[in-house]
């Protein structure tokens, strides 16, 4: 497995870093992208490399077509192959606004990063995976989309985010259907409340709600919870389940009386 390569967008912070650590433990080298400058992520890269991982970081905004192309080209130049794509990078609205007052600018920003970017990055990488499938004996590709419980749980103060994640759900089904003939499974992971820098501002609010029974399992989720699920999928533990959604939400979305 030492020559297997995973592309992980937003792979050096939050949920993405949890996924990176889990796939490194599975023997993968990781090509990660993000919008931060290389020197700001170098401590994380060095820590992973000190543990024996091979990490490539490319500064790339997945909402930009040239950046997406540059990211894929950098992986081709460094590793020459791609076995796994994890579409993880995403943003919340800059300002939480009631859908009666939300702006088109915010909607467009969130859609380009959370939905349009992953859609066309998948298109690019899927074409590369198909080429590898035809050229490499035993090649097995895999694509994982990281969405959110917000794909089905409505939050009127961040409607653009919810719609973008619902769109990822349909994109998962579309790509699973299209790539089935090539034996390339596509999965979706829907995290619930995960402790990351994105959720710091609402930590007190959800600490209280968790204490009041919001989740069946009374705790926050952690990036490694998502990472373990991703590792299971790339290992091939669900070989007959393309298009399926894995809920990592502590039972938050279980309908209860």
SS3 29: strand
Tokens at 255, concatenated: 């309908």
CB 45 within 8 A of CB 118: no
**Other beta carbons less than 10 A from residue 250's beta carbon:** 21
Assigned domain for 164 exists: yes
Tokens at 232, concatenated: 């299971």
Q: Which pLDDT does position 1 carry in this prediction?
A: 43
Q: Which pLDDT does position 197 carry in this prediction?
A: 86
Assigned domain for 253 exists: no
Rounded CA separation 181/106 (Å): 38
Assigned domain for 52 exists: yes
> Residue 135 belongs to what domain range?
5-248
Beta strands in the chain (DSSP E): 5-9, 29-34, 55-59, 84-87, 142-146, 186-191, 245-248
Domain tally for the chain?
Answer: 1
Assigned domain for 178 exists: yes
Assigned domain for 77 exists: yes
Assigned domain for 255 exists: no
Assigned domain for 127 exists: yes
Assigned domain for 256 exists: no
User: pTM of the prediction?
Assistant: 0.97
Give 3-state DSSP helix, strand, coil % of the chain, rounded to 5: 50, 15, 35
b/e sequence 40-76, b meaning 16+ C-beta within 10 Å: ebeebbeebeeeebbbbbbbbbbbeeebbeebbebbe
Q: Which CATH number do you get for residue 111?
A: 3.40.50.720
Rounded CA separation 132/142 (Å): 12
pLDDT in tens, the chain (257 residues): 458 999 999 999 999 999 999 999 999 999 999 999 999 999 999 999 999 999 999 999 999 999 999 999 999 999 999 999 999 999 999 999 999 999 999 999 999 999 999 999 999 999 999 999 999 999 999 999 999 999 999 999 999 999 999 999 999 999 999 999 999 999 999 999 999 988 888 899 999 999 999 999 999 999 999 999 999 999 999 999 999 999 999 999 999 99
Q: Tokens 């349009």 identify what position?
A: 116
Torsion over CA of 84, 232, 114 and 10, rounded to 10 degrees?
-70
């Amino acid at each position: 497995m030492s020559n297997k390569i995973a592309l992980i967008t937003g792979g050096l912070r939050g949920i993405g870093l949890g996924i990176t650590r889990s796939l490194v433990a599975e023997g993968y080298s990781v090509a990660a992208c993000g919008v931060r400058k290389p020197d700001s992520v170098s401590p994380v890269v060095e820590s992973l490399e000190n543990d024996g991982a091979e990490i490539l970081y490319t500064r790339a905004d997945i909402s930009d077509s040239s950046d997406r192309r540059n990211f894929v080209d950098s992986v081709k130049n460094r590793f020459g192959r791609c076995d796994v794509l994890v579409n993880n990078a995403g943003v919340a609205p800059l300002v939480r606004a009631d859908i009666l007052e939300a702006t088109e600018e915010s909607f467009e920003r969130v859609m380009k990063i959370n939905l349009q970017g992953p859609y066309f990055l998948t298109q690019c990488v899927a074409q590369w995976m198909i080429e590898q499938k035809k050229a490499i004996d035993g090649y097995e590709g895999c694509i994982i989309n990281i969405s959110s419980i917000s794909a089905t749980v409505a939050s009127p103060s961040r409607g653009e985010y919810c719609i973008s994640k619902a769109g990822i759900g349909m994109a998962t089904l579309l790509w699973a259907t299209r790539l089935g003939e090539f034996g390339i499974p596509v999965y979706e992971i829907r995290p619930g409340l995960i402790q990351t820098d994105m959720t710091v501002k609402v930590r007190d609010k959800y600490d209280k709600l968790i204490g009041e029974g919001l989740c069946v399992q009374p705790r926050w989720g952690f990036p490694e919870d998502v990472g373990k699920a991703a590792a299971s999928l790339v290992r091939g533990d669900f070989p007959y389940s393309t298009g399926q959604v894995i809920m990592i939400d502590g039972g938050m979305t279980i309908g209860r009386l």
